[in-house]
Amino acid sequence: MSFQDIIFYLFSAILIASALGVITFRNPVYSALLLVLSFITCAGLWLLLEAEFLAITLVLVYVGAVMVLFLFVVMMLDINLVKLREGFWKWFPFGGLIALVMVIEISMVLMGKYFGLDEMPNPQPHAADYSNTKELGRLIYTEYVYAFELAAVLLLIAMVSAIALTLRHREDKKVLDPGKQISVQKKDRLRIVSMPAEKKNQ
Amino acid sequence: METIQQYFIQFFGSQWGNMLFLLTTNLVFIFAIAIPLLLGVAYLTFAERKIIAYMQIRVGPNRVTFFGIPWLRGWGQPIADAVKAIMKEIIIPTGANKFLFVLAPVLTIMPALAAWAVIPFSPELVLADINAGLLYILAMTSMGIYGIIIAGWASNSKYAFLGAMRSAAQVVSYELAMGFALVCVLMMSQSLNIGDIVSGQQGDSLLNWYLIPLFPMFLVYLISGVAETNRAPFDVAEGESEIVAGFHVDYSGMAFTVFFLAEYANMILVATLTSIMFLGGWLPPVDIAPFTWIPGFVWLLLKIAFILFFFLWFRATFPRYRYDQIMRLGWKIFIPITLIWIVVLGLIMQLPESIRDVFPLNLWF
């Protein structure tokens, strides 16, 4: 067993354990943090597969931004676990059915003839000056440019519609206009009154 | 070096020997970076106290000295502070989540130190010369926020929690502007490797540095860097006057000190990145004799110190921002500026070669 194999098995063990923790821990904050751990170990596995750009982007996007907002929300929730587990057995057959469909689908992909170990050997190590990012960029902007642009437009639509759905115009909110604040002159606010000195009444 | 490698191969066999040799040398390099860095952090706190004191016409720390030498008065202060912090008790509040409470300071300092792996100190002196160095740094710095959020939540205190919420919103907002500013650098250098980014600024003088074509990005990056490290005037996460001390209000002793160290380590990191991306890293300001005699490492240190001085200067000068002003600056000013600059830069890069060869443009494009 080589050094890389040991790292692979170590990372896989951590990944599986933390992924199990995500769905078994009762405290949602622990679950969110374990999900972060599983993202990071997954990035480690991708690095072993020579997918450095994807690995670092996984950490950058999911760990650095998405999970921060998740944690942000989860920490503010006051979750009542008893109420949450009430409908567990009622919905269990439905959930189980979905899980079964997912398992079948994934095994159709992974166990078929297209994705077997013979079809997908370990990636060949590249030379030191090979840039994964550059190759990926070249492919995205030449061969897959339409798909890429379509995905970008979809994301933009999703973002705009999310904002549009949650945007509420309130009439009674108090807003400061920084432009007005900066342009305030002395004479707008302050009135200097010249006044003769008054004698104290005897 | 090679003889040591031979010993390793003899002792552990060819396959394991090479791996263990790499592991040992990397560990030695990591210590060679981390220990001076932590010393630098300690003396940065001293420099901050002294510089702000002089700006406010005070003297600052002037008592603790080494072996009673009179002209070193004050220089022992950081060491004395460290000893004091180690001796103090770490109090864990009863309602706190003990595991996460202890984990939070560790999570804060880890990314601040890990990002140093790809920083080049001179053309040869770099721990990990990886192709996606810039992405790695962005990924690492974006992880620093976890320590703060977890600290705020685990303390089980409303002030700590408010500080954590403020900090999370602020860091996420400014990270975007920071990332876009770095996208401009990456467009100029056409490489994600940090060594290549510095050598892209090589030329006759400091006119070739990215500071000049990317000057707005330099300002955006520096100010976002101040906001990312939660330093004054963006220190609403601590906000002594409103929420006591923010996310670390319940921390004491060494646990608090680790947060403190992480803040200063992050400051040094942002200063280093600014000097590498915009101020030419290890390159001398003018490429002629007396300047080129000084090693590149020293130039980098001088540039870092220059940027760090700005951090201290800001703290001594500006009043704290109001929270809505912080958000407005990040989202409504910085992000549009960076987006426009990316488009402008792209247009300039697409100009025909004959126009790009005219004087000021030929320095950078």
**B137 at the A interface (CB within 8 A)?**
no
Mean pLDDT over B138-155 rounds to 86
Asked if the Cβ–Cβ distance from A133 to B135 is below 8 Å, we say yes
Asked if the Cβ–Cβ distance from B135 to A63 is below 8 Å, we say no
What value does the mean pLDDT of chain B take? 85
Select the more confidently predicted residue: A10 or B126. Answer: A10
- pLDDT category of residue A158 using cuts at 50, 70 and 90: very high
Confidence check: pLDDT of B237 > 80? no
Enter the tokens of residue B328.
Answer: 């407005």
Confidence check: pLDDT of B179 > 80? yes
Query: Chain A partners of B324 at a C-beta cutoff of 8 Å?
Result: 176
Q: How many CB pairs under 8 A join A and B?
A: 74
Look at residue A80 in the predicted model and tell me its pLDDT. 64
- What are A130-155's pLDDT values in tens digits? 777 888 888 888 889 999 999 999 99
Asked if the Cβ–Cβ distance from A133 to B132 is below 8 Å, we say yes
User: Quick one: which of B138, B128, B136, B134 has its CA closest to B30?
Assistant: B128
Look at residue A128 in the predicted model and tell me its pLDDT. 66
The residues near A2 (Cβ < 8 Å, ≥ 6 apart) are B15
Mean pLDDT over B280-307 rounds to 84
Alpha carbon of B55: minimum distance to chain A alpha carbons (Å): 27
Select the more confidently predicted residue: B258 or B96. Answer: B258
Q: Which residue of A has its CA nearest to B192?
A: A133
**B125 at the A interface (CB within 8 A)?**
no
Task: Check the CA dihedral B344-B345-B350-B351 and report its sign.
Answer: positive
- pLDDT category of residue B142 using cuts at 50, 70 and 90: confident
B192: nearest CB among A65, A75, A133: A133
Residue B205 sits at φ, ψ, to 5 deg, of: -155, -170
Q: Residue length, chain A?
A: 202
Query: Chain A partners of B168 at a C-beta cutoff of 8 Å?
Result: 68, 71-72
> Global pTM?
0.85
List, as ranges, residues 176-195 from B with C-beta within 8 Å of A: 191-192
Most confident of A160-164, B164-168, B238-242, B285-289: A160-164
**A179 at the B interface (CB within 8 A)?**
no
In DSSP terms, which residues pair with B286 in a beta bridge? B205
Enter the tokens of residue B311.
Answer: 């951090």
Asked if the Cβ–Cβ distance from B15 to A2 is below 8 Å, we say yes
Confidence check: pLDDT of A68 > 70? yes
Alpha carbon of A156: minimum distance to chain B alpha carbons (Å): 15
DSSP string, B21-69: HHHHHHHHHHHHHHHHHHHHHHHHHHHHHHHHHHHTT--------STT-
A60: nearest CB among B131, B139, B153: B139
What value does the mean pLDDT of chain A take? 84
Query: Chain A partners of B173 at a C-beta cutoff of 8 Å?
Result: none
Asked if the Cβ–Cβ distance from B324 to A71 is below 8 Å, we say no
How far, in Å, CA of B96 to CA of B56, rounded? 39
Distance of CA B70 to the CA centre of its chain: 34
3-state secondary structure A1-44: CCHHHHHHHHHHHHHHHHHHHHHHCCCHHHHHHHHHHHHHHHHH
Look at residue A99 in the predicted model and tell me its pLDDT. 92
- pLDDT category of residue B208 using cuts at 50, 70 and 90: confident
How far, in Å, CA of B91 to CA of A57, rounded? 38
B131: nearest CB among A33, A131, A176: A131
Asked if the Cβ–Cβ distance from A33 to B145 is below 8 Å, we say no
- pLDDT category of residue B221 using cuts at 50, 70 and 90: very high
Q: Contacts for B110-113 with beta carbons within 8 Å, 24 or more apart?
A: B110/B143, B110/B147, B111/B140, B111/B141, B111/B143, B111/B144, B112/B144, B112/B262, B112/B265, B112/B266, B112/B269, B113/B34, B113/B37, B113/B265
- The CA radius of gyration of chain B, in Å to the nearest whole number, is 22
Confidence check: pLDDT of B247 > 70? yes
Q: Which residue of B has its CA nearest to A73?
A: B165
Confidence check: pLDDT of B158 > 80? yes
Question: Would you call B202 helix, strand, or coil by DSSP?
Answer: coil
Which of B101, B134, B145, B332 should we substitute to test contact with A (largest number of A Cβ atoms within 10 Å)? B145
Asked if the Cβ–Cβ distance from A71 to B149 is below 8 Å, we say yes
- pLDDT category of residue A97 using cuts at 50, 70 and 90: very high
Mean pLDDT over B196-221 rounds to 84
